[in-house]
Structure 1
Amino acid sequence: MGDPTTYHFDLDPALRPAHAPLEERWWPGIRDVALRASSARIYDPIVGVRAVVIHATAGGSSAGAASVIFDGNASFHWLVPDEDEPQHGAFVWATCHEARAAWHVRNGCSHPAIWDGRGRINHWSLGIEVVNRQVRSDDFSDWQVEATAQIVRYAWAKYPNLRHVVSHAMLDPGRRSDPGSLFPWSRFREAVLDAREPAVPELVSGAAGMEAVVPSPPFCMVV
């Protein structure tokens, strides 16, 4: 078993895929609701995205996970179905607009290894929830691991400054343990870094460095 508080790896710009397709569907009725359970980003919604955070639900259903968004308590960008759900093996759920800051990490959390310890992580990250109860009797399926990796590859191709893939537990170790010690982090990392799609040409992958990214005025709701 691994220690989820150490789950983290960086993405090499030289290996960034030029394109990575993603099979996704919007969760029924959630698109408008997600606008009320998220914030306008204070960084540019494309070049300002710096990290992907991996979560696990600690519950056994996609419906239970999506309910927190309908309740307005939290949000995340994608939801990976469990193996006993009909969507498993077919597509992942989109649950929040990528251009919005979903509420998936506490506002006060940070880590020195992730963008030099910068706070307000929601404003420069994307969140993935994997449906899993985090107990020995509920293994993460091969497809869940592969689908989560493909979401990261999709985001890596789309967001030129994406550099970090990190667990929720590493960012909030005192309160969170997800995706849990049973999540096969090494296998997941290999799936992300296995360049199955053509890499972005060097001149393109080096464009739009983060030094050029300036936060927008902080007019939006703080999360």
Structure 2
Amino acid sequence: MYPIDSTTYRSKAFNRRVRFLVLHYTAANFQSSVNALARGDQVSAHYLIPSPTDPSYTRAGFDKTRIFSLVDENERAWHSGSSAWGVRTGLNDTAIGIELVNQASVSNGQFNFPDYHPEQIAALVQVCQDILQRYPDITPTHVLGHSDISIGRKSDPGAAFPWQQLHEAGIGAWYDDTVKAQYQAQFTRQMPTQAELLEKLRTYGYSVPAQPDARSVQSLLRAFQLHFRPANYRGVADAETAAILFALVQRYNA
């Protein structure tokens, strides 16, 4: 047997697999989520965070919130599917995925986004802070929702997800209120063109089609609004949406 020398010479020319943190809801109760993510062979995630008030969680024998590790972080979990951000596609290759049990639903095109339990968010903050400490390539703009990377296909983690709260805990991106107000005053008088909005979305990281049509533009704006302006996510361009977008690009892409 020939020895493997892993100490004499060590290369600096490498990087880490993990560059993104993608957050999801399960759109199902705890038991159904476990069946899909841990017992099925179609989808998976690295972590699952239950709601402590979910009856199926208590029936499973748990009485306190815990974080379930389903797939080792160095392995490729199947949570993002067809996805893109910036120049990267197929984000399962480079992402850690976290699923939160939340029974969001859609009926006749109308979405219902239930609130997340405070203990779920506290647990999420804990695990995200730990992940970000260990993976410095996950920048604020690389902490994303499934809806950000799968435009028109996904809506999770939904309009009830507290992105600003996470940002205040050092997780993910958010805009500066003063800069947003300055842009909003400007755009109330004169909106940017659609081409300018799409270029800013592309600069920030969203996957913008080479030849966008009305439907794809609406889907892009809806995804952006779900993350950064969840009070109104119809996918219609307005001064506030444009102001938030420009403020984000100024903060993170200047």
C-alpha contact 1:48 1:161 (8 A) present in aligned 2: no
> CA 1:60/1:90 → structure 2, altered by over 3 Å: closer, same or farther?
closer
Residues of 2 paired with 1:169 and 1:78: CA distance? 18
- Write the distance in 1 (CA, Å) between the matches of 2:159 and 2:99: 15
Give distance in 2, aligned partners of 1:184 and 1:88: 24
Structure 1 letter corresponding to 2:121? V
- Which amino acid in 2 is paired with 1:50? R
Partner residue in 2 for 1:130: 100
Identical columns (%) = 28
Consecutive unaligned residues in structure 1, runs of 5 or more: 1-43, 195-223
**Contact 2:143/2:171, CA 8 A, preserved across alignment:** no
Say which structure is richer in helix.
2
Aligned-residue offset at 1:189:
2.0
Q: Which residue is 2:149 aligned to?
A: 171
* Equivalent position amino acid for 2:124 in 1: T
Aligned residue number for residue 211 of structure 1? none
- What does residue range 102-181 of structure 1 map to in structure 2 within 5 Å? 102-106=77-81, 108-112=82-86, 117-134=87-104, 138-163=114-139, 164-181=142-159
Query: For residues 164 and 92 of structure 2, what CA distance do their matches in structure 1 show?
Result: 25
Residues 49 and 126 in structure 1, CA contact (< 8 A), matched pair in contact too: yes
Normalised to the residue count of structure 1, the TM-score between the two structures is 0.59
Aligned residues: 144
Closer/same/farther in 2, CA of residues 124 and 161 from structure 1, 3 Å limit: same
Aligned to 1:191: 169
How far 1:185 moved relative to its partner?
1.4
Could you tell me how far apart the structure 1 residues matched to 2:78 and 2:113 are? 29
| Aligned match of 1:92 | 67
Separation in 2 of the partners of 1:184 and 1:146? 11
TM-score normalised by the chain length of structure 2: 0.52
Note if contact 1:146-1:191 (Cα within 8 Å) is conserved in structure 2.
Answer: no
Structure showing greater Rg: 2
Cα distance change of structure 1 residues 137 and 125 upon mapping to structure 2, 3 Å threshold: closer
1:137 and 1:162 mapped to 2: Cα distance? 27
Looking at structure 2, the residues matched to 161 and 103 of structure 1 have their Cα atoms a distance apart, in angstroms, of 20
User: What is the CA–CA distance in structure 2 between the aligned matches of 1:110 and 1:93, rounded to whole Å?
Assistant: 26
Runs of 4+ residues over 3 Å off in structure 1: 85-90, 135-138
Q: Which residue identity lines up with residue 93 of structure 2 in the other structure? A: H
8 Å contact from structure 2 (residues 46, 71) kept in 1: yes
Deviations 1:103-132 (A, max 9, x none): 0011x31022xxxx2112111110000001
Query: Secondary structure of 2:102's partner?
Result: coil
Name 1:101's counterpart in structure 2: 76
Quickly say closer, same or farther: Cα 1:88–1:104, change in 2 above 3 A: farther
Partner of 1:218: none
Over 3 Å counting, the alpha-carbon distance change for 1:160 and 1:191 in structure 2 is closer
